[in-house]
Amino acid sequence: MSLPHLAGLIRNSSAKPEAVHQVDDDLQKIFASAIELEEMMLSSRAYYDVTWLGWDSGSPVQSGFDPDFVERLSLDRVLKDSNSPCLMLSPALIKCGNADGQHYDEHIVLVKACL
């Protein structure tokens, strides 16, 4: 679905014109950031891995709660047991190697997964 199609869905709703304009602006920013990120990743020889923790056995990240790879989001309460997450909201983005195509055995967490 393209940007005009997404904005068209909102325009056809009963939203206020100011809200529709704000959504259009926000979508433009999201897509511009995504394109910039894609260009940066494609120009690098590093390997980028989007990992749903606990689902990918080939991932350099172990399953379970590891504060180096995961951050907890709890809007209404503090989770009492950090070893038993309720729901994985977003995956981690991990970079393996460097831009020169070396050191693929080393990794860095660019974006932590969210519980």
What does the alpha-carbon distance between residue 106 and residue 98 come to, in Å, rounded to a whole number?
A: 9
Q: What is the pLDDT of residue 65?
A: 63
Output the pLDDT for position 96.
93
Please indicate, yes or no, whether the overall pTM of this predicted structure exceeds 0.85: no
Q: H or E element: which one contains 23?
A: helix 17-42
Buried residues in 4-16 as b, exposed as e (16+ CB within 10 A): eeebeeeeeeeee
Residue 34 Cα distances to 1, 4, 14, 28, 39, angstroms: 15, 16, 29, 10, 9
pLDDT score, position 79: 54
Q: What pLDDT, in 10s, does the model give residues 21-72?
A: 888 889 899 999 999 988 988 888 898 888 887 655 555 555 556 777 777 7
Say what the pLDDT of residue 98 is.
87
Distance CA 96, CA 60 (A): 9
